[in-house]
Chains A and B, each alone.
Chain A
Amino acid sequence: MKKFKIALMLLLLIPGMLSAAEPYYDSGSQMFSIKAGVTTPFFYYNPENDNSTNTNKNPVISMWPGMGHDQTHRTIGGVASIAYQVFLNPYLALGGELGFQFDFANDGNVGTNVPIFMKLTYMPVQTGKIDVPISIGAGFLYAGYKDLSKITFGCEVELGVRFFITEAWGVGVNVGMYLFPEIYTSNTEWFSMMSYIPATISVTYRH
């Protein structure tokens, strides 16, 4: 148990030791990233289930992919995005990200989400070879399914690790969470929320 505590403390100290080094980025540094990967439906929440065959409008909270009663009625899907960010100071970068996410419903039709987010990234670890970006994003979301569509808002959090093969080019892995609320001001029975866990690989160019 004692060994475990020591190992844990060392692990927690590593980012601090790394960030204590001279930061790699300067104000005005730029990053351009392309990502692709899979999304796992995390949960679906509907406080007022508008199912015409069910007169009891009970809230629906379902989790994980699958078509079962307690599942989100979506499959594992795919996601891709491009992002451009500029460093405001050596640790914070601000920019935008355009994404495309899709999965499949029970009837085989595809559901899509197109997030257009402002993205703020905190870079606590930046050695020149390895970056650990922590990001939050928020903005618009276009959701579509068959002939239905909706423009609403969305947000995300993301944690990544990047390894730079050359001075400018790096590859990385990322994991995060999307939160897509479908907001209505008057037809509140249509409100529902979808959350995903994206897992992606990325290629980054920095300058």
Chain B
Amino acid sequence: MRIGKTLLAAATALTLASTLISCNLDGGRGVYQAIYQAPPKSNDKITALLGHTSDNSKVVGIQNGDLHVYTAEEHDRKIADITKSPYMPFFFDGTNIYFAMQNDKGYIDFYYDELTEIESSGSLSPSPATVNFVGGENREVVAFESYNYFLDKVMIFYTFEGENDGASSDEKIKHYGFFEVKKEDGTSDVDPDSHTITVHGDIEVPSTCVVFGDGMIRSFANDSDIDGIRNGNFVIYTEDGTRYDKNITISTGSVRESDIAMGFDGEHLIFLDGDIADVSKNSNRLHNWRGFVNDLIYRQDDIMVPYHLDVDGGWPSFTIGYLYGEGIYVNPDGMDDGEGPRLISMSSDTDIMTTAFIGNKEPTTEGNRRTYEFLMATKENGLWNLHLEITRSEVENDDPNNDPVYTYHYSGSSGRYTGTIQDYKYNHTPKELV
């Protein structure tokens, strides 16, 4: 009987508690929805690669906000915590890391620090460096952005004090320039003795410009009303300071979203609506491949970093890239007219953004099959490995005196990489504009 009373008391207490909870059913906030919508587990975020040593044994990058090195022996190693540092690292010349920092007057000053010093001390103690902007002497840099997609070439945006008098700082004319850490003739725009960098280009561009390919930026003549993609001319500039005359204006007047180029590999533009066009055809998207990829609208700006590999020995040269939300894309050189690049793999984890390619291994050949391994840094998934396989078959040839003619088949896969950068050599070849 006593147990029955206890149970009755418990039931009464529960009923009272239920009533109280019922009165406050708007407490809390969508717990199960938050779980259902949780983004994938956060992996290493490599937001920038600054450069590599000449022997490729060490690459410096920014991972999870800190300075890291990737070496032949270690997957990665944190060398300095810079999350709260005022210094913004923007490239590594093989010996020194260069930094930009805003001074008390609101201008940008430049600094350098030796990598070995940073590694041994675990902190920064930069010394002043000099940056010469061609055509911009005696003016102060008021804003600075840097892109180093290609490890040996840095593309930068900057603005100068004194222009756009009376305009607010965010309306100042943006300039676009670049410097090369290692040129083909062995020289460099970086003087390691005087710690002076020479920036070429100095193109005045609208403030909406972004880098989106090998030496290419896009912009609009008028800054837009919605995310910079409407109401203006869409323009492509090359890094040597000239606008790309052959196909400079992709669209005039009201720019449609489908006219926004999101990637460029030196030959093809990939548009926001998933189409692809060959800019070498001197025409306004007459030579295009509709529906090359899925609709890229609402995706991120930097969807592709192409990597062009010159190959000999009877195998084709090609450009390989990774398209955000799609997977591996290959554009073989010497395609017949009417043929376009191809998507060769749909990875299960395609929504990754490329920071830069680190390099590729020496290809291996077995008969009519050749395999390549590429390594790139990503903004969401740390180091990422691309496996490409090319198989060729000989076309029947009536004349035995002729060289064999082949057709090529491309296939590939990709995935998170946990090894070291050993054996991955940086062999990227800038692709000349046609």
Contacts and interface: CB of A to CB of B under 8 A. Distances in A.
Q: Are these two chains actual partners, yes or no?
A: yes
B338 interface: no
Interface in A140-166: 140, 143-146, 148-153
9 contacts: A51-B37, A62-B36, A74-B35, A88-B4, A106-B41, A111-B31, A140-B17, A149-B28, A152-B21
A46 B36 contact: yes
A56 interface: no
Which 7 residue pairs are nearest across A and B when measured between Cβ atoms? Answer: A150-B28, A190-B30, A105-B38, A108-B41, A107-B38, A192-B32, A143-B31
Contact of A111 (B30, B35, B42): B35
A72 interface: yes
A200 to B, nearest CB: 22
Nearest to A190: B30
A187 B31 CA distance: 13
Given A28-B3, A46-B32, A139 B27 contact: no
Contacts of A131: none
Interface stretch (B7-15, B134-142, B161-169): B7-15
B40 A187 contact: no
Nearest to B36: A73
Interface in B385-414: none
Interface string A104-121: 011111010000001000
B187 interface: no
Given A73-B36, A106-B39, A109-B38, 4 more contacts: A139-B18, A143-B31, A180-B32, A187-B29
A interface, how many residues as a size bin? 35 or more
Contacts, number: 105
A123 interface: no
A153 B32 contact: no
Contact of B32 (A30, A140, A182): A182
A145 B35 contact: yes
B25 A145 contact: no
Interface string A171-205: 00000000010111111011011100000000000
B33 interface: yes
A168 interface: no
Given A51-B37, A95-B7, A185 B26 contact: yes
Interface residues of B, number: 28
A151 to B, nearest CB: 6
A86 to B, nearest CB: 5
For the residues of A in contact with B, the DSSP-based class is strand
A106 B25 contact: no
A94 interface: yes
A37 interface: no
Nearest to B40: A106
Contacts of A124: none
A143 to B, nearest CB: 5
Interface string A72-84: 1110000000000
A60 interface: yes
A192 B33 contact: yes
B26 A187 contact: yes
A107 B39 contact: yes
A145 B28 CA distance: 11
Nearest to A96: B10
Contacts of B26: 184-187
B434 interface: no
Interface in B24-65: 24-42
